[in-house]
A and B are shown apart, each in its own frame.
Chain A
Amino acid sequence: MAKQGQEIKKESLFKKIRKNKIPYLFISPFFILFAIFLLYPTAYSFYLSFFKWNGTGPKLYVGLLNYINLFANRPFKQSLMNGVIIFLEYVPSMTLLALILASLLNSKYLKLQGVFRTFIFLPYVTATVAVAFSFQLLLDKKYGLANLFLGFFGTEPIGWLNTPNLARICLSSLVTWRWLGYNMVILLAGLQNIPLELYEAAKIDGATPTQSFFRITLPLMKPMLLFCILLSTVGTFSLFEEPYILFLPSRGAGPMDATLTPVVYLYQTGFRYLHFGSASSIAYALFIILFLASLFEIKILGEKK
């Protein structure tokens, strides 16, 4: 009986699919590609993270050893630490600067806003690899423009890319340079969605511009700011091209591993040393950490509405 019932249900499901075959056909390419290029690799990566494997020989099951090693040894912890430091170095200041610029470009008292927007957004379209080389030369101790400029003020040449702290600052400035315009454009779109009447009403009630900024602009911009900060968080821990090119001789690790980001470490482990198993564990650990960090940020920033 039950079996019969199931068969009827099955048939009707089949019929349903046939009846709607056109939309299913339209969406099927996505799901086929999703299964091959995302679902399968994601699952396989999880499987590999419990093995020791150099990519060609036999796989050796090691249980949780890869994960234990990750947190027992220095490089991965260092890379997470670097991510936190770099995040603190540039995300708050860049987001604030982007918000200030967006407010200026949204103000009706200024001219040439389109021109400024173009200039500030321009870095976003340029290839990071190309620009990172340009930064490398700009910051060169002897032949760079940065030290020449500082030399006018009597500063001794600085080895920007050779000391851990300065190296991270250089990396942060490259990232800021490239992403400031992107953040600004997104925040600008958010500002343009705030109805002007709100400000007018506040003005009539005697609010100063500062008050209306904190009472109207900031609360209404919260979702956009959250979006920018979430993107910057994931972006910071996934930095690859910027450190890789800026510190090419050490393949992205930088002086004393100061710019070793999790993805640089993943790349080195997987594709330089061919430790596919432990590289997979890095990828998964990072995935989970970023997921939790995003949830945490959503909770903290999203709550007080």
Chain B
Amino acid sequence: MSLKVSSHSLREKRLKLRGEKKKMHLKKTLVYFFLILISVAMVMPLVWMFSSAFKFRAEIFSYPPTLFAKNPTLSSFFSLFDQYPFDRNLFNSFFISASYTALALFFCSLAAFGFAKYQFPGRDYLFLLLLGTLIVPFHVTMIPLYVFYRKIGWINKFWGLIFPGMANAFGIFFMRQYLIKIPDDFLDSARIDGCSEFKIFLGIILPIARPALTGLGIIFFMGSWNNFLWPLIILKSREMLTAVVAIRQLQGVLRVPYDLIMAASALTVIPLIILFLVLQKQFIAGITKGAIKG
């Protein structure tokens, strides 16, 4: 593409402005080179992960290392499913992330609707309190929650992962920003038609808020899918682990089974990469809208 620019400009203004154009051209080439370099650095660890997933263990532990597998094999994937319950682990991740996302979206937008579209005493103080909860880091609550879960039998249960973040201040804030822009006439005309408030929420608000829900939903899903510390603490048996925790548990005492780990890693990152590529626009809009609050 830079070639096209160069031949075009050379032919047209060979004499005039020759030096300046050349300088500009050089600058542009350098910039593209820089951007390509960064992009390669960004993709490299993933390429390495995928290529190692198709190697035999012997090839991973041979010198010199190879970028691509000499004899590609699926054996790591088969042993993940035969000797380990990794298919179950992937399903767990999916189940937890999907239910968390659905519930969190529902409760966050419900509360956001309450804050955005109603007048009631104490509203602004309650909202301030809600925002205040954002400063408490999760790790402060970790030990008491663990003790609490032990008491109520939530250790090694999925509920323990789904509940804590289900109605979170960030999500409510995010949705409120969107819902506050919906004109009141919309709701009033529905009320005249005899809709109950909850029906207005389900039938009018949620459909209008679909773009915001998609953006927030991806953020929730990703956060839950990649979450590591809390599941590492409360999930105990092999069958209950989420995919990311299962990857960590593949490492035994002896030499690191990189073939299995890389295959499991590839399977774990692929769903999110696909989700990102498909919904890129909403994803990035969600990320930036969440940030602009600050």
**B43 near A122: Cβ-Cβ < 8 Å:** yes
Residues of chain B from 266 to 288 with CB closer than 8 A to chain A in the complex:
266, 268-269, 272-273, 275-277, 280, 283-284, 287-288
Interface 0/1 of A38-66, CB less than 8 Å to B? 10111011001000000100000000000
Which of B15-23, B79-87, B132-140 is near enough to bind chain A? Answer: B132-140
Determine whether A70 belongs to the interface, using a CB cutoff of 8 Å to chain B.
no
**B64 near A148: Cβ-Cβ < 8 Å:** yes
Determine whether A72 belongs to the interface, using a CB cutoff of 8 Å to chain B.
no
**A283 near B163: Cβ-Cβ < 8 Å:** no
Interface size class of B (residues with CB under 8 A): 35 or more
Which residues of B lie under 8 Å from residue A127 when comparing CB positions? 225-226, 228, 243-244, 247, 265, 268-269, 272
A270-B142 CB under 8 A given contacts A110-B28, A177-B41: yes
Which of A1-9, A79-87, A238-246 is near enough to bind chain B? Answer: A238-246
A148–B64 Cα gap in the complex (Å)?
7
**B38 near A120: Cβ-Cβ < 8 Å:** yes
**Majority SS at the chain B contact face:** helix
Our pick among A33, A145, A280 for the contact of B65 (Cβ within 8 Å) is: A145
**A118 near B46: Cβ-Cβ < 8 Å:** no
Q: A226 — nearest CB in chain B belongs to which residue?
A: B294
Determine whether A234 belongs to the interface, using a CB cutoff of 8 Å to chain B.
yes
A27–B172 Cα gap in the complex (Å)?
10
**Min CB distance, A54 to chain B, in Å?**
11
Interface 0/1 of A6-41, CB less than 8 Å to B? 000000000010001011111101110110011011
**Min CB distance, A68 to chain B, in Å?**
19
Residues of chain A from 99 to 126 with CB closer than 8 A to chain B in the complex:
101, 104, 109-112, 115-123, 125-126
**B35 near A104: Cβ-Cβ < 8 Å:** yes
Our pick among B118, B163, B265 for the contact of A133 (Cβ within 8 Å) is: B265
Our pick among B32, B163, B244 for the contact of A129 (Cβ within 8 Å) is: B244
Interface size class of A (residues with CB under 8 A): 35 or more
Which residues of B lie under 8 Å from residue A283 when comparing CB positions? 137, 139-140, 142-143
Q: B222 — nearest CB in chain A belongs to which residue?
A: A125
**A22 near B272: Cβ-Cβ < 8 Å:** no
Which residues of B lie under 8 Å from residue A240 when comparing CB positions? 228-229
A287–B67 Cα gap in the complex (Å)?
43
30 contacts between A and B (CB under 8 A): A16-B121, A23-B115, A23-B123, A24-B114, A25-B114, A27-B110, A29-B107, A48-B144, A110-B28, A110-B31, A116-B39, A117-B284, A125-B222, A125-B276, A126-B226, A127-B268, A127-B269, A133-B262, A134-B48, A134-B262, A134-B265, A138-B45, A143-B63, A145-B65, A186-B288, A224-B291, A270-B143, A276-B143, A283-B142, A291-B135
Chain B residues in the interface with A (C-beta under 8 A):
1, 28, 31-32, 34-35, 38-39, 41-46, 48-49, 52, 60-65, 67, 107-108, 110-111, 113-115, 118, 120-121, 123, 126, 130, 133, 135-137, 139-148, 163-164, 166-167, 169, 172, 197, 201, 222, 225-226, 228-229, 233, 243-245, 247-248, 251, 256, 258, 261-262, 264-266, 268-269, 272-273, 275-277, 280, 283-284, 287-288, 291-292, 294
Chain A residues in the interface with B (C-beta under 8 A):
16, 20, 22-27, 29-31, 33-34, 37-38, 40-42, 44-45, 48, 55, 101, 104, 109-112, 115-123, 125-131, 133-138, 142-145, 148, 177, 180-182, 185-186, 188-189, 223-224, 226-227, 230, 234, 238, 240-241, 245, 248, 263, 266-267, 270-271, 276, 279-280, 283-284, 286-287, 290-291
